[in-house]
Structure 1
Amino acid sequence: MRGPKPILDNVIPMKGDAAPRPVPPALDWMSDEGRAAWEELAPVMVAKDRLEPHYADLFAAYCEAVGDFMRFTGDLAMMGSYYEVSTRNGLQEKKRAAWGQRQEALANMQRIGALFGMSPVDERRLSGGGQGDLFEDLKRQLASDASV
């Protein structure tokens, strides 16, 4: 069929055809552990379109929480979770400071990670198709009940 030549500027590339976006480098102020987490996780977040440049500081905070969690877990593996203290009532076991710090790092990971879809529940929430159509769902349900 004859007609004007197509204009390729209005063609939307298919999902797999787009050039991969560059992964931003880790921020200068990050610790070695945080940098290691960034290098492992940032490419995944970029591929899922969840790491925009203006989210870099928040994602770096997540990576630092991951690094803290790893560091405190290693400390607890070397020193143990508890130590003994001699009191007037005898020996008592006390939790090490690293135990509480690890719990705090885990809470930070969960809180910040939810914003980036880092758990299965958050992943589903972020990749969901929206609210859907209530009336369409209701009509479908009524139609399936009527056919039974």
Structure 2
Amino acid sequence: MKKQKFFMISSEILPEAIMKTAKAKEILAKGEAETVNEAAELAGISRSAFYKYKDGIFPLYRDSHNKIVTISLDLEHKSGVLSKVLNSVAAEGGNILTINQGLPLQGLANVTLSIETTEMNVTTEDLLNTLGDISGLKNLKVIGQSSQI
């Protein structure tokens, strides 16, 4: 799996479409809109632009500890792959709060993990990179973060 690289960038230099995507995601998270179409309209962006950028922009939480990070993983349907993921999270001090695993379809199973980061000894980005190195992991993305737990 290709490692993702993350940067901290001032919002002042980001293109308008990316900033409006972030605004639409915030609108959805706050429940100010019920649909992506409605949130995109409120933020002043097209739905297609929202979908283009939505998986690449996240709010920056200054303190990565005392958070719950929810990640989605696509794992090959092979014995031991999920176990490697769970052991890697535990080795870095992450506390797994929930595990949801779908049935394997076409050789891949989707797994969603919610991880408490309070006791982690690495950053969330480092944890994601560690997980990305696991053989059998085909896709990984952060789908949510909470503030204080």
Which bracket does the TM-score occupy, shorter chain normalised?
Answer: under 0.3
Larger Rg: 1
Structure 1 or 2: larger strand share?
2
* TM-score normalised to structure 2 length: 0.22
Give TM-score scaled by structure 1 length: 0.22
